[in-house]
Chains A and B, each alone.
Chain A
Amino acid sequence: MFIVGELINGMYSQVAKAILNKDKAFIQDLAKKQVESGSAALDLNCGPGSKNPLEDMVWLVESVQDVTDKMLCIDSTKYEVIQKALEVAQNETMINSANAEDEKLAKLVALAQKHSSALIALTMDKKGIPQNKEQRLELAVKIVGFVQEAGFDMQKLFLDPVLMPINVAQAQLVEIIEAIKDFKVLTEPSPKTIVGLSNISQGAKTRSIINRTFVVMGLSSGLDAAILDPLDKQLIDAVKAAELVLNKNIYCDSFLGA
């Protein structure tokens, strides 16, 4: 599974503090820990409290790429912030995220193409988050069609069915799993699929087991990637075990240490 470490996010108070104080060592340490725990990419988000997201994001990119050559996932709602981050990034990059809105999609696909960046696209639009798998598929078809037309590499497109919290929209989760299956057969080669895993347990009292269970179910339905907490060892172990069962990895006694 392609793991995107989620911890460098200004939503967390300690990270917000580190961004505010430009505490490079704290951010770099968090980056290294996530890479050591198996992250193939690192999400960077300066958080809602950032007064100057443009400057903060550039600082995050520069700080993190000093200590790792892993992919950087530029997580922002602002086009200018993403654009600037891609300009200063020397590592491979991923844009987080576009959605099915025409204008936003067109701009971000063009930007991703210019910088050979991967692109996450949420299957939602101005009308909000879809309520069932059919609506998700409809939006996925729209996104895939646009991306194909633009000549963008399908394997760099990550479709996100938008994971809902289990205590808010329980009935949605089956729809989301079905949607992931459908996304994978849209084209050949197929687009990649991704979820923001922690969303599912947002507000729930026992979070880790819910995340762990969903990721395993997702993997068996064609989920390629997840933005998650790589320091949750039980979660990572569940991913590794699922990959063995799915014959994606070769068994050995120390498979958890591989």
Chain B
Amino acid sequence: MKLEQIEKSSNVINPTILGEGNSSVKIAGEDSLPFLHREGKSGNRPIVAYEVFDSVPSDWPKSLKDEFKGVINKPIEWASFCKNELNAQVICLRLAGVHPDFGNASAQDSAKLCRDIYAKVNLPLVVIGCGDDQRDNKILPECSKALKGKNCFFGNATIDNHKTLVASCIADGNGIIAQSPIDINIAKQLNILISEVGLPLDKIIINSTVGALGYGLEYAYSIMERARLAALMGDKMLAMPFICFIGQESWRAKESKASVKNNPDWGNEYERGVNWEAVTANAFLHAGADILVMRHPKAGKIINSSINELSKKGIT
């Protein structure tokens, strides 16, 4: 019996461009669920972004830090390493060091760092603040100004704190990462609020927040899946690409960092951590992630090869 497709989606996930010129990257544009090539347009392939911190991350285990020996305290070199050695298409700069408790770095220094990294790597940047609203509202607008016209993306905008950042991004031609706490209603609400300030819909990327394997992965998956289905059925206020901070969540799990010495049954933590991140990322790839922000180079490599395989048109 010949199977016929009886339903087609009525909407497309906004094709969204990060960066400008020859290093720009296009994501989304699909009108079907991920990798179901026979059901509709597959859109642009998901991409892997690597994280770079403005200050040495305090909570990374040795197994992760070792991968960035020599660059982990030099953000510009670190970004360059991600581009040249890991083939990153996008760099995610985390301004953790602007937090009052973790260095209190100045707006001026942070803006300079953004400018210098961009000048060095010429890749689109996703710049994420420290999570302290007051500091972020001071720092991020300066960073946005420093990357004026570069079509970089800034976050995290939230329900309670988005106006300052959105206004800066509109003025500077940049985009927004809109964060909601694994809650589809809030994700939609935030997109409406941001678009009411005046940012075009194709300048918004949803960070619906995720959980690692064993830490709420299924729930986060189901929220993304529901949002994506609604978007494909016509909901324009949810038809944005997703960014997933996979590394951040995976390396928070004790399973990815606890040493084999203390947990002999768990096996070598070097492999375990990589696998934890790769498995988490793979799940979200199927939920519709468009940008996977990764940490471990080996996990990134595994995911890139998954994307390659899944993007082959013959596979159903």
A19-27, A50-58, A215-223, A250-258: which one contacts chain B?
A250-258
| Across-interface contacts of B230 in A (CB, < 8 A) | 249-250
Interface size class of chain A, counting residues whose CB lies under 8 Å from the partner chain: 10 to 19
How many B residues touch the partner, as a band? 10 to 19
0 or 1 for each of A235-253: is its CB under 8 Å from B? (1 = yes): 0000000000000111111
Q: Are B7 and A250 in contact (CB under 8 A)?
A: no
Closest 6 CB pairs of A and B: A252-B189, A252-B188, A189-B6, A254-B192, A258-B237, A252-B185
Q: What is the chain B residue whose CB lies nearest that of A251? A: B185
Pick from A250, A253, A254, A257: contact of B227, CB under 8 Å: A250
Contacts of B235 in A (CB 8 A): 249-250, 258
Mask of B119-135 contacts with A, CB within 8 angstroms, 1/0: 00000000000000000
Within 8 A of B (CB), among A103-162: none
B192 contacts A250, C-beta separation under 8 Å: no
A254→B190 CA distance, assembly (Å)? 9
Q: How far, in Å, is B150 (CB) from chain A's closest CB? A: 30
Total number of residue pairs linking A and B with CB closer than 8 Å:
34
Report yes or no: B6 in contact with A257, Cβ–Cβ below 8 A. Answer: no
Interface residue A188 (Cβ < 8 Å from any Cβ of B): yes
B222-242 interface mask toward A, CB cutoff 8 Å, 1 = contact, 0 = none? 000011001001011110000
> Which residue of chain A lies nearest to B226 when distances are taken between CB atoms in the complex?
A250
Interface positions, chain B 31-89, Cβ under 8 Å from A, are none
Write 28 A-B pairs (CB below 8 A) sorted by A numbering. A189-B6, A189-B7, A248-B233, A249-B230, A249-B235, A250-B184, A250-B185, A250-B188, A250-B226, A250-B227, A250-B238, A251-B185, A251-B188, A252-B186, A252-B189, A252-B192, A252-B237, A253-B185, A253-B189, A254-B189, A254-B192, A254-B193, A257-B192, A257-B196, A258-B188, A258-B235, A258-B236, A258-B237
| B4 closest partner in A (C-beta) | A189
Residue of B nearest to A154 (CB): B6
Query: Which residue of chain A has its CB nearest to the CB of B238?
Result: A250
User: A190 — nearest CB in chain B belongs to which residue?
Assistant: B6
